[in-house]
Structure 1
Amino acid sequence: MDEFSPIFPIAVAAELAAMHPQTLRQYDRLGLVSPTRTAGKSRRYSMRDVAQLREIARMSAEGLNLEGIRRILELENEVTGLRRRVRELEAALADEMLNRPGRRIFAAGESGDVVPLRAGTRTQRNTQLVVWRPLGRG
């Protein structure tokens, strides 16, 4: 089980959140906290849902209206999802770097193209001296 496991029926979740069950039903209708439904359509709340209910109560006590609370929760959930995605991408990048060492090193070629290099190597530089003289001047 984790914090997202739907284990609490509405009466228990309401008691844990110090709210009336009807308030939880209203929040579900408004989309503030949407519990998982069982096959029989009854609501099951997770610890994450209960924590969110407590947060709603706190914000409401501070004077925020339900639409403002809904928007804040929506943004917080989006941030949580984006953080999770960043962690996934960081892990994938770390795996790629471990599985293919040296493949991420590159340089710019003479014509501006990207040139891959092996780890520990350098590009060959052109060391020729070119003298430029304007036309018509000897």
Structure 2
Amino acid sequence: MTEQVRTGGPADARPVYSISVAAELADLAVPTLRLYEQHGLVTPARTDGGTRRYSADDVERIRRVSGLVEDGVTLSAVQMVLDLQDSNRTLTDANRELRDRNAALRKDNARLRADG
């Protein structure tokens, strides 16, 4: 059973996993991680001695790459898909924030009309 890797916080960006541990967490072979790195799909941190170190965020990205490859996306197209997914997530979050702000403004407007 592989360890669950949580992402989203500052600690998740800390490069702590060796390539073998990252491969196990992502349920992939080490050469596959090296291939993803060669294609620029993941860029692990390096120690002063040159050893790769992966973060929880890296492992999550590796899982995303692997899922796309399993779905038949070529490695050369994976970066474009990841970029589009990330842009979509950013736009969705911004849209949600704008809707929340709009609702708050409407509420304030209604309150001001009722007071005036």
The TM-score range, normalised by the shorter chain, is 0.5 to 0.7
**Number of residue-to-residue matches in the alignment:** 85
Q: Give per-residue Cα distances to partners, 1:3-46, cap 9 Å, x unaligned.
A: 11100000000000011111111111110010001100110000
Structure with max Cα Rg? 1
- CA drift of 1:71 comes to 1.4
SS in 2 for 1:3: helix
- The correspondence for 2:18, drawn from 5, 9, 13, is 9
RMSD: 2.3
Q: Which runs of 5+ in 1 are unaligned?
A: 84-138
* Structure-2 separation of matches of 1:36 and 1:76: 23
- How far apart are 1:70 and its partner, in Å? 1.5
Greater strand content: 1
Of 41, 45, 51, which residue of structure 1 is paired with 2:54? 45
Q: What amino acid is the match of 2:50?
A: K
State the partner residue of 2:42.
Answer: 33
Query: Is 2:19 aligned against 1:19?
Result: no
CA contact (8 A) 1:8 1:46 kept: yes
CA separation in 2, counterparts of 1:34 and 1:80?
A: 21
TM-score, normalised via structure 2 length: 0.63
40 and 81 in structure 1: CA distance in 2 versus 1, 3 angstrom threshold: farther
Cα drift, residue 74 of structure 1: 3.4
- Equivalence for 2:66: 57
Number of the residue aligned with 1:91: none
Q: Which amino acid aligns with 1:47?
A: A
| Partners of 2:18 and 2:25 in 1: CA distance | 11
Separation in structure 2 between the aligned mates of residue 40 and residue 78 of structure 1, nearest angstrom = 35
Contact 1:32 1:73 in 2 (8 A): no
The percentage of counterpart residues that share the same residue type is 37
Structure 1 ranges of 4+ moved more than 3 A:
74-83
What is the SS of the residue equivalent to 1:70?
helix
Long gaps (5+) in structure 2: 1-9, 93-116
Question: Which secondary structure does the structure 2 equivalent of 1:39 belong to?
Answer: coil
Q: Which letter maps to 1:3?
A: D
